[in-house]
């Protein structure tokens, strides 16, 4: 591989792309190596057979009122839905009535507030410890919690939960979040189909190995998914320091998968566009975004350990599960009206090995550890390496900017004053 850049970035998700942009702002030469044949990582918009876009990964502009990708969407003309279109819950006897929904909403709001209060008191214990008993809602809560946090409440630290930034504004993008990230990253030169296998920091700079050859640089930002790092998909020489390895094991890579199905338009004629449908049942469930932006399709969301179990059974099992739940709601005729389907494999795909992270009980401090430079020439970036915006695209982006600034300052490089590192640069 030719050239010796100041910075090598490993991974071209939001974190890696942000690191590369930050390096460019400093006037530093940069090379980005990406294993996949595309940029964006877990921000990936796919297209159904009939050409409708859907987000296989990130979909909502979280903290939309202050998310830099919202301003970018405005600038690039990517429309988003700046309101919540509502949800319904389907139970054993049909749709829950208004009184039941109000009861669920009040109880789950109180349960989330209890987790928040436990964490805010500094207790690094399982969020589940704060969830009150309830004869009916605990199962549904565990599922909603897992969709939000990446894992059920017995697997996340309440302190980690309490540290996450709070906002009610989660706005879906009409053309997809993945499409927006791809547009933002389009000006970053990336070597695609170039998996990094080994990173050697023993010498003066860094030496990065790939099947296409070896690249030398002065410093590196490793913007790999948490799951890939935990599984040792890339070999570090010398090994990452023990506190870093322990911190990585203290974070959970999270569970989530999706199934997108195209349907006969008439089936959803009475359904509010981009509204949501949940099932009043235990953790083996799915929730749907119905008629996304008025399109004849639904996107099913699988959360918690069940998302991994059913992914392991294969796409046909995921599709069959989604169809069965749709038939439950829309009647047996619905089966004939369900057309093509696509599925994701975030939890077993070696390039992700997880969805979005949470800190395990007792390990809330892990996030602080992974944000420290590993050495003067090596720093980690990714959604997991942010204290309050973890699990989000904008958190990944901020972590990339932070990691680049850490290693570039060691090289005597910093961004020009007029252009702060965090400014959107697309």
Q: Give the shortest CB-386-to-ligand FAD separation in angstroms.
A: 9
Residue of 383, 403, 405, 407 that binds ligand FAD (CB under 6 A): 383
Q: What is d(CA 248, CA 90) in angstroms, rounded to the nearest whole number?
A: 38
Residue of 164, 201, 352, 425 that binds ligand FAD (CB under 6 A): 352
Contact between 122 and 165 (Cβ < 8 Å) = no
Per rule CB under 6 A, is residue 305 in the interface with ligand FAD? no
SS3 assignment, position 402: helix
Omega of the bond prior to 238 within 30 degrees of 0, cis?
Answer: yes
Per rule CB under 6 A, is residue 5 in the interface with ligand FAD? no
Nearest to 231 by CA among 243, 248, 255, 206: 248
What backbone torsions phi and psi does residue 242 show, to the nearest 5 degrees? Answer: -55, -45
**Closer residue to ligand FAD in complex, CB, 11/217:** 11
Q: Which letter, b or e, does each residue of 88-115 get, where b requires 16 or more Cβ atoms within 10 Å of its Cβ?
A: bbbeeeeebeeebeeebeebbeebbebb
Q: Give the shortest CB-246-to-ligand FAD separation in angstroms.
A: 20
Q: What is the helix (H) or strand (E) element at residue 242, kind and residue range?
A: helix 242-249
**Closer residue to ligand FAD in complex, CB, 16/153:** 16
* Cβ-based burial of 233 (10 A; exposed 0-12, middle 13-18, buried ≥19): middle
Residue of 23, 26, 30, 33 that binds ligand FAD (CB under 6 A): 33
**Closer residue to ligand FAD in complex, CB, 263/302:** 302
Contact between 324 and 222 (Cβ < 8 Å) = no
Per rule CB under 6 A, is residue 13 in the interface with ligand FAD? yes
Piece of the chain touching ligand FAD by CB under 6 A; list 6-14, 76-84, 367-375, 409-417: 6-14
Q: Which stretches within 68-97 are classed as H helix?
A: 68-76
Piece of the chain touching ligand FAD by CB under 6 A; list 4-12, 85-93, 333-341, 417-425: 4-12
Site string for ligand FAD, 322-341 (x = CB under 6 A): --------------------
Q: Give the shortest CB-425-to-ligand FAD separation in angstroms.
A: 16
Nearest to 152 by CA among 164, 141, 137, 166: 141
Site string for ligand FAD, 113-142 (x = CB under 6 A): ------------------------------
Structure-token match 């990708």, residue found: 69
Contact between 230 and 363 (Cβ < 8 Å) = no
Residue of 5, 9, 26, 34 that binds ligand FAD (CB under 6 A): 34
Nearest to 277 by CA among 95, 48, 23: 95
How many other β-carbons are positioned within 10 Å of the β-carbon of residue 166? 8
Q: Give the shortest CB-409-to-ligand FAD separation in angstroms.
A: 21
C-alpha distances in Å from residue 164, one per residue of 120, 190, 292, 304, 371 = 11, 31, 27, 19, 16
Write down the number of H helices and E strands in the chain: 13, 22
Q: Which of residues 231-290 bind ligand FAD (CB under 6 A)?
A: 233-234, 256, 258
Q: Which of residues 204-223 bind ligand FAD (CB under 6 A)?
A: 223
**Closer residue to ligand FAD in complex, CB, 10/408:** 10
Give the up-direction half-sphere exposure of residue 114: CA atoms within 13 A in the CB hemisphere: 17
Per rule CB under 6 A, is residue 421 in the interface with ligand FAD? no
Residue of 130, 247, 290, 392 that binds ligand FAD (CB under 6 A): 392
Per rule CB under 6 A, is residue 401 in the interface with ligand FAD? no
Site string for ligand FAD, 43-72 (x = CB under 6 A): x-------------xxxx-x----------
Piece of the chain touching ligand FAD by CB under 6 A; list 131-139, 260-268, 309-317, 345-353: 345-353
Site for ligand FAD, rule CB under 6 A: 10-16, 33-36, 41-43, 57-60, 62, 195-196, 223-225, 228, 233-234, 256, 258, 346, 351-352, 355-356, 382-383, 391-393, 396
């Amino acid at each position: 591989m030719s050239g010796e850049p100041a910075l090598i970035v490993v991974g071209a998700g939001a974190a890696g792309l942000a690191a590369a942009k930050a390096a460019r702002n400093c006037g530093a030469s940069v090379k980005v190596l990406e294993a996949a044949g595309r940029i964006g990582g877990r921000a990936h918009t796919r297209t159904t057979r009939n050409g409708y876009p859907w987000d296989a990964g990130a979909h909502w502009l979280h903290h939309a009122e202050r998310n830099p990708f919202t301003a970018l969407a405005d600038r690039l003309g990517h429309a988003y839905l700046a309101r919540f279109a509502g949800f319904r819950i389907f139970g054993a006897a049909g749709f829950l009535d208004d009184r039941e929904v109000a009861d669920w909403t009040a109880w789950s709001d109180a349960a989330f507030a209890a987790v928040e209060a436990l964490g805010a008191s500094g207790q690094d214990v399982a969020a589940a410890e704060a969830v009150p008993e309830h004869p009916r809602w605990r199962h549904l809560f565990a599922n909603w919690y897992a969709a939000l946090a990446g894992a059920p409440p017995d697997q996340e630290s309440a302190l980690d939960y309490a540290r996450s930034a709070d906002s009610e504004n989660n706005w879906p993008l009409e053309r997809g979040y993945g499409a927006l990230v791809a547009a933002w990253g389009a000006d970053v030169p990336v070597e695609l189909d170039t998996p990094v296998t080994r990173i050697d920091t023993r010498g003066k700079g860094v030496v990065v190995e790939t099947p296409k050859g070896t690249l030398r640089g002065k410093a590196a930002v490793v913007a790999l998914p948490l799951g890939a790092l935990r599984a040792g998909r890339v070999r570090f020489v010398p090994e990452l320091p023990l506190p870093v390895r322990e911190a990585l094991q203290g974070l959970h890579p999270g569970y989530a998968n999706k199934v997108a199905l195209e349907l006969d338009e008439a089936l959803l004629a009475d359904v509010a566009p981009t509204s949501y449908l949940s099932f009043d049942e235990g953790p083996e469930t799915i929730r749907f975004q119905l008629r996304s932006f008025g399109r004849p399709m639904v996107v099913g969301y699988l959360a918690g350990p069940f998302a991994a179990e059913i992914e392991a059974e294969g796409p046909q099992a995921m599709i069959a599960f989604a169809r069965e739940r749709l038939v439950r709601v829309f009647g047996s005729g619905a089966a004939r009206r369900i057309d093509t389907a696509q599925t994701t494999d975030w939890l077993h795909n070696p390039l992700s090995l997880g969805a979005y992270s949470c800190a395990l009980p007792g390990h809330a401090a892990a996030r602080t550890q992974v944000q420290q430079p590993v050495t003067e020439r090596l720093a980690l970036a990714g959604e997991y390496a942010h204290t309050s915006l973890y699990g989000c695209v904008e958190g990944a982006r901020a972590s990339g900017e932070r990691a680049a600034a850490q290693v570039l300052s060691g090289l005597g490089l910093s961004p020009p004053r007029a252009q702060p590192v965090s400014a959107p640069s697309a």
